[in-house]
Amino acid sequence: MHKKISINTERKTVMLTNVIVDTFENAMVYVPRYVIPSPSGIKINSKVSIPVVLSNRKRHVANQKTVIAHGKMADMLAKHLNEGKMMSFVCDLDYNIKQYAFGPDCATTVYRETYGYKDEKDKHRTGMSSGEGYRPIFWNKSDHVDGKTWQQILDARRRRVFLPSDERNGKFGFAEVKLPEGDIIILYGN
């Protein structure tokens, strides 16, 4: 699949097709919902910044952009976008996501999450049984116990909400947590 970026100035949109989430060099950053205490108590939605790689086949170079999601979309994407996930986005001209479509995980990501190692040298490690992988070995077989376990893992991931423990750990889903500065009150849960 080729990756492409197209800009429609008439509709004021940017379409990123088949881009890869790239958290290897630049982390995905999540800012939780918060309130700025004041007489009116201004609520600010959660936000996630997602680094993605575009490929320019003509020049044989990779190009990186950062797309941004807000609110419930930010929460959902922070929980589900692992490194190597292929995505398509429709954004405004400032790269704020308006629509998205999930693509497949890249083979390297599936391999690493299933078997817990990066290359053939570390082949003695196994997936969840060693505690190093995220996916059971037969995660993609729905009638296998591993497939059912994988569905339970995904269901639990969907239900997760931002908690004080996420703030302490500095992680929410696959994103690093960055707290806003100043006098604020973090909003936990839904």
Residue 164 pLDDT? 94
Position 45 in a domain: yes
Give, to the nearest 10 degrees, the angle between helix 71-80 and helix 145-159: 150
Instruction: Calculate the CA dihedral of residues 126, 87, 20, 144 and round it to 10 degrees.
Output: 10
Position 129 in a domain: no
Position 132 in a domain: no
Contacts of residue 90, defined as CB under 8 A and 6 or more positions apart, other chains included, come to: 13, 14, 15, 16, 97, 98, 99, 100
Residue 106 pLDDT? 76
User: Residue 186 corresponds to which tokens in the numbers above?
Assistant: 């973090």
Residue 143 pLDDT? 94
Position 114 in a domain: no
* Total structural domains within the chain: 1
Position 101 in a domain: yes
Residue 187 pLDDT? 92
Position 131 in a domain: no
Position 156 in a domain: no
Average pLDDT per run of 10 along the chain, which is 190 residues long? 64 82 79 90 93 66 83 93 85 91 80 68 57 75 90 89 93 92 88
What range defines the domain where residue 73 resides?
4-106+162-186
The model's pTM: 0.81
Q: Given 3-state DSSP classes, what are the helix, strand and coil percentages for the chain, each rounded to the nearest 5?
A: 25, 35, 40
Residue 1 pLDDT? 44
Position 137 in a domain: no
Instruction: Give the domain CATH number at 97.
Output: 2.40.50.140
User: Residue 68 corresponds to which tokens in the numbers above?
Assistant: 């941004």
**Three-state secondary structure call for residue 135:** coil
